[in-house]
Structure 1
Amino acid sequence: MATMSQICPIFTAVFLLALQLCIGNKSCTIWSSSGHMVKRGSSFQVYCTFYCTCKRSMYSDHPPTPQNHEEFNSTTIYFKVLNITENRTYSCQCSCSLSLDSCGMDISTGYPPDRPKDISCIYKVSNDKSGDVFCTWKRGRNTHLKTTSVLCVRSVFGNHTSIDHECPRNGTDLSSVSFPVPRSVQLISVRVKAHNPLGSSVSSTTNYTLSDIAMPPAPVLVHPECSSRECIIRVHQSVKTDHLEIQYKSDGQTWTTFTSPSHSHQGAKAWNISLLEPYTLYNFQARSKLSTGLWSQWSTNISSWTQEEAPAKELDVWYAEPASDSKSLKVYWKEANNSISRGKITRYIVKVYNPNSTLRSESNIKCNATNYTVPFCANCEVAVLSSNSKGLSPPAKITTSYKQAKPPQDLQVTAASDNVTISWRKPEAAPASYVVEWYPEGHKLEELRWVRLSGNDNHTLITGIKQFECYEVAVYVFYDENSVGRTRFTGVTNLESAPAASPLFQEKVEGNAVTVSWTELPRSQRKGCITNYTIYLDSDSRPQMSYNVQASERMYIIEALSPASYSLWMTAWTAKGEGPAGQKVKLYIQQSQLPLLLMCGVISMIVLFFVCLCQNSGVKQRLWVFLQCLILDVVPDPANSKWAKECTQVKGKLNLQVQLSSSSVTKDEEEPILVDVEELPKKNSLTSIPTKVSLQHPSQTSQNPEMDPATHLYPLTTYIKSFSHDSDSSDHTQTSLDTNTTVEYISSHGPGIIAEEDQGEDEEEEEEFPEMLGFLPSHNVFLEPMDFGGKLTLDAVKIDCGDFFQNI
């Protein structure tokens, strides 16, 4: 008989085999010490028992992550889970020869339900017999588990009979529920139960009197009928109520409430809503209430327009001042709001009146226009009117013939990110009104804006200011219809930086000056208010030059530039700094021809002056002597003349015989003329070549055989100075540098004698000195007849240029 120790292993093996067959091809069984639903933040153990001997392992999450398990016994392992905060999946696996699947389980985490609170119920009356109770409550925090909520209600009728019932269970995890209740029920008691796998909770009981929570249905409004000032509203109610309220408003306004008298209302009834504005779209809604209980919900909004009326006020009109040479005036107006226009504007009318208030012109303008240009006259008055289907507005009049008055003082500008505040000091005289205008610099006609203020204001807030934009602002103060003062200033901006580009310019070179002209920077590149421009001029021969020009200028002239090659460029400035330099342009300044022309003119004037001066005989003779000194090679030497060679007897005396060719000469004139000759000492260290002097006629000289040409009657000299007894100047005195040439030199009482006797020699001299003869004037300025007389000595005929300069 088998012992007990032999039966146990067999029994265990059979049990395990049977268990494996029952659970399928699983290698293990897994379970948790706290079940498959646990509270978040709790700790527990997960166990795995294996059916075969193998290497065992435990995993968690997806994809499976190995976990550090511990051995519980030979067939079981476990893993400690600490402070679980979310749903997890755990699995175990055994690696053995059998193809067995791993085992696993899902752990759900959550919280038990909180106690419901803040139960609120409303009895929505449907008709005179019944209604629905609608209850809501707060469930508390999210349990992360499937939670069921049940509303338990006890109703108390008039005879104090109570009925307990629960709300339908078809809704789970809800926070509101509704159920029908007859109007005969006076009281109800409600409570809420909440339940999930981790626990349950019950709210406190709340009691209600149905009349206190009763709410009628919302009224139904019929489309109203409106005139210009009132509307008739028709209200329809399915339940008899005791109170009714109607609200209305226009766009952008707050609600205005109309309350009906306290009496029963049921069915359809009309209500008159008055004190409305013309041509305005109004929205209407209504609500009602029983004698006690709650107000119904507001009805659906309905809208309607009131009818039009003629415009109530004149337009807000302004104008752009005409330029000095303009023959037109641009008038602007603002589109009036509905409270002023009181209808849809169909057109604008612009009228121009003469100073005597007679109509000069009238123009109809389209309804979408906001400005119009009219012919300008100094004292004309312009009126602008608006028109709708009911009539015309009062005329808005403007004129430019204002009397100048004291302008606003102490203007201050405070800039913010998107607006600018303009403030000023009030004048002593109380003004009637102010007008503040502003526009981007240089774009007045396109983007003019303005605001009209009362006489009590001393500041205004300008909105819509663009960043990196420069504005011009003007403040006008009106004391009466004909007296106005104005202060205008520029450079208003709320944000700026250095310019983003340089201006485009053109250069023009004229002589030694450069004219630079440029255009304004585009608005997008100015980055604020331009304060000035800088023109740079650079060359290799001189330091770089810069010229600052005001922002209002568009041209600049650089003068007195020396001839050179230059580089020119420009930059623009704002209060934040200088913009980038533009493209450099090469230009060249050439040498001016004006000094040369001026010099030629001066020389011509000097020559003309001397020509006029030489018309004087004394000046003419001195100048002729000076010219002879300059041209020494054409002046004959008196010591080499024939008559000087023939004078051999008396020292210091010359026998001068002149034979006249004219038959009118007397015998006395034929007698020899005695000339005193005085010897002058040599004035230079150079050795003079021997010179023979003769004062006789050439014919006489040739006929005297006794005269030895080699005889030296006087000391050797090269120059002879001759003076006439009748004048202080000599004529036809020449000095020859060639001492070997014999030249006749004869002084007589007239040039005619010289011409006859020396005709042949004169022709030779003209050929030898053509340049000198060509220099002399053809009208015989220096060659006028000269008288010769008195005695001639060698000292008298010696030419001394030094005395000439001394006399001058």
Structure 2
Amino acid sequence: MKPTKEMGVTLTDLTPYTMYDIRISCIPIVSGEVKGFWSETFMTTARTLEDVPSAVPVVQPSFFSCIAPECSEIQIYWQPIKEEDNRCDMMRYKVEPVSPKSAHSRPVFAAEDSVSARLPLNTNATVQISVVPFNEKTNEFPLMEPSMLVLPPKSQWPRAPVHLEALSDGKESKSVTLTWSYPDDFRNKPFNGDFTVVWCKKNIDGICQKELNWVGAVVNTTLQLKVSNGSTVDDYIYGIAADGYYGGVRSSSGIVWADCVHFTNRTISEKLDVISIVEEIDQGIMKIAWRRYKCKEFRGQVIQYIITYCAERNCKDTTQSLNVSKDERNYTIRGLAPAKYRLWVGAVSDAGRGPSRQIEFMIYKKQNFLGQNENESVAAAVGIALGILVVIALTIIVPYCLW
């Protein structure tokens, strides 16, 4: 600025709600002439007054995930505005379905450090959801177009990717590899689109907070990511969405999140939860189902499952082993002869095979029964046979008595 003889000055063209350093010094003027030297500088700081936010968040077409059956409720995500753009102490985000309007179209307000909000969704219509920041103190909104997420009817969404896995060398690693697969129906109808990979820092509840990162137009089914300095791969959650054209409309499946990061070279110590299901229609068929490990049970990489079974009377001499894909959760064994069987199911990691869960079951000539005790199964079969005889007897005796 130019020197002035005034005892005050107005500074203009400043950015709202911004801290400025102001320095003032003076020099003597004698008889209209400058004499001597400039004084030491006096410095002070001041913040300009609040104003409405100067930017809107970034919302990509894939920035949502289904959190209820049939996607009747979604979590919508956004990349928050920069700190210098909020221009206030207390800022919030207003998230609102703007079309179509209904009695349930109420706005949701999210805190300044939030990157998501929960909303009900009408999956039978094209829904437009706006996201806009506003100043808590003035309750005014920026004079700019809000960010908008447009969701066509769910029937026009592509299928979501499946079998998403996040794999890393260890908790302190900064590199993670994501892998996923096409849904089965993509094999018959080629997928005309690409993928968006999303990751964000998580809070204690495993929900995104403070930042949202993404890579779009991914055409492969694997991607390696590196996290920022000062963080580890376990500080983040990772997701994938399919984006494609259906019915001439570009739409997204929404984000499918990985349950957690799995680590290499981990030994399995827990047994699987396994159940056996008798197929009642076809004789000699047994279906085995199991639940995959939860993250709190095992954080290693399961590479396959192994099923081993034998007829109890021949277990010492003859056993059958089956290798099952890591993506499967059940397996059906066919062609079993009538006998009592023992069966073991176990998971295999890249560090070796874990402990197996044992179950026993019976295959009968005419009827299949579950049970650990052969006598109980035989008793059940006898009970059914007696029941059939009683029904036949009543069919003959009752008409005779009525006559």
| Same structural fold, with TM-score higher than 0.5 when normalized by the shorter chain | yes
Separation in 2, partners of 1:343, 1:331:
24
Local SS of the residue matching 2:105? strand
Asked whether the equivalents of residues 283 and 304 of structure 1 are also in contact (C-alpha less than 8 Å), the reply is yes
Matched, 1:508 2:276: yes
Asked whether the equivalents of residues 414 and 420 of structure 1 are also in contact (C-alpha less than 8 Å), the reply is yes
Asked whether the equivalents of residues 535 and 571 of structure 1 are also in contact (C-alpha less than 8 Å), the reply is no
Matched, 1:437 2:198: yes
Separation in 1, partners of 2:264, 2:208:
20
Asked whether the equivalents of residues 437 and 450 of structure 1 are also in contact (C-alpha less than 8 Å), the reply is yes
Letter aligned with residue 589 of structure 1: M
Separation in 2, partners of 1:289, 1:542:
107
Matched, 1:279 2:17: yes
Match of 1:350 in 2: 95
Cα deviation for residue 382 of structure 1 reads 1.3
Letter aligned with residue 547 of structure 1: L
Matched, 1:571 2:347: yes
* Equivalent residue in structure 1 for 2:290, among 518, 534, 538: 518
* Equivalent residue in structure 2 for 1:371, among 101, 105, 117: 117
Separation in 2, partners of 1:331, 1:487:
9
Letter aligned with residue 354 of structure 2: P
Higher radius of gyration, 1 or 2: 1
Match of 1:581 in 2: 355
* Equivalent residue in structure 1 for 2:264, among 491, 496, 508: 496
Letter aligned with residue 314 of structure 1: V
Asked whether the equivalents of residues 514 and 558 of structure 1 are also in contact (C-alpha less than 8 Å), the reply is yes
Mark the CA change 1:470 to 1:328 in structure 2 (over 3 Å): closer, same or farther. Answer: closer
Matched, 1:384 2:131: yes
Match of 1:418 in 2: 174
Asked whether the equivalents of residues 206 and 237 of structure 2 are also in contact (C-alpha less than 8 Å), the reply is no
Mark the CA change 1:311 to 1:270 in structure 2 (over 3 Å): closer, same or farther. Answer: same
Asked whether the equivalents of residues 518 and 555 of structure 1 are also in contact (C-alpha less than 8 Å), the reply is yes
Mark the CA change 1:392 to 1:533 in structure 2 (over 3 Å): closer, same or farther. Answer: farther
Letter aligned with residue 578 of structure 1: G
Match of 1:551 in 2: 326
Matches for 1:276-355 after TM superposition, within 5 Å: 276-282=14-20, 302-317=44-59, 318-321=63-66, 325-354=70-99
Asked whether the equivalents of residues 533 and 548 of structure 1 are also in contact (C-alpha less than 8 Å), the reply is yes
Letter aligned with residue 53 of structure 2: P
Local SS of the residue matching 1:353? strand
Matches for 1:188-267 after TM superposition, within 5 Å: 261=2
Separation in 1, partners of 2:321, 2:236:
27
Mark the CA change 1:386 to 1:468 in structure 2 (over 3 Å): closer, same or farther. Answer: closer
Separation in 1, partners of 2:175, 2:276:
43
Local SS of the residue matching 2:276? strand
- Percent of residue pairs bearing the same amino acid type: 14
Residues matched between the structures, number:
308
Asked whether the equivalents of residues 129 and 150 of structure 2 are also in contact (C-alpha less than 8 Å), the reply is yes
Matches for 1:726-737 after TM superposition, within 5 Å: none
Unaligned residue ranges in structure 2 (runs of 5+): 29-34, 159-165, 179-194, 218-222, 369-380, 382-403
Cα deviation for residue 418 of structure 1 reads 0.9
Mark the CA change 1:284 to 1:589 in structure 2 (over 3 Å): closer, same or farther. Answer: farther
Query: 1:701-736 deviations in whole A, cap 9, x for unaligned?
Result: xxxxxxxxxxxxxxxxxxxxxxxxxxxxxxxxxxxx
Matches for 1:548-697 after TM superposition, within 5 Å: 548-562=323-337, 563-573=339-349, 576-582=350-356, 584-589=357-362, 591-593=364-366
Mark the CA change 1:494 to 1:299 in structure 2 (over 3 Å): closer, same or farther. Answer: farther
Cα deviation for residue 587 of structure 1 reads 1.3
Separation in 1, partners of 2:266, 2:2:
70
Letter aligned with residue 382 of structure 1: I
Mark the CA change 1:320 to 1:553 in structure 2 (over 3 Å): closer, same or farther. Answer: same
Separation in 2, partners of 1:366, 1:470:
20
Letter aligned with residue 18 of structure 2: T
Cα deviation for residue 453 of structure 1 reads 7.1
Separation in 1, partners of 2:38, 2:269:
70
Q: Which has the higher contact order (CA 8 A, sep 6+)?
A: 2
Asked whether the equivalents of residues 285 and 332 of structure 2 are also in contact (C-alpha less than 8 Å), the reply is yes
Separation in 2, partners of 1:438, 1:320:
13
Cα deviation for residue 438 of structure 1 reads 3.7
Letter aligned with residue 348 of structure 1: Y
Mark the CA change 1:418 to 1:272 in structure 2 (over 3 Å): closer, same or farther. Answer: farther
Mark the CA change 1:334 to 1:501 in structure 2 (over 3 Å): closer, same or farther. Answer: farther
Match of 1:38 in 2: none
CA RMSD of aligned residues (A): 5.5
Letter aligned with residue 392 of structure 1: F
Cα deviation for residue 319 of structure 1 reads 1.4
Asked whether the equivalents of residues 176 and 233 of structure 2 are also in contact (C-alpha less than 8 Å), the reply is no
Q: TM-score, normalised to structure 1's length?
A: 0.31
Asked whether the equivalents of residues 332 and 371 of structure 1 are also in contact (C-alpha less than 8 Å), the reply is yes
Asked whether the equivalents of residues 199 and 236 of structure 2 are also in contact (C-alpha less than 8 Å), the reply is no
Match of 2:148 in 1: 397
Asked whether the equivalents of residues 268 and 300 of structure 2 are also in contact (C-alpha less than 8 Å), the reply is no
Match of 2:213 in 1: 451
Q: TM-score, normalised to structure 2's length?
A: 0.55
Letter aligned with residue 344 of structure 2: L
Mark the CA change 1:286 to 1:359 in structure 2 (over 3 Å): closer, same or farther. Answer: farther
Match of 1:612 in 2: none
Local SS of the residue matching 1:392? coil
Unaligned residue ranges in structure 1 (runs of 5+): 1-259, 406-412, 423-433, 598-808
Separation in 2, partners of 1:460, 1:590:
48
Letter aligned with residue 545 of structure 1: Q
Cα deviation for residue 545 of structure 1 reads 2.8
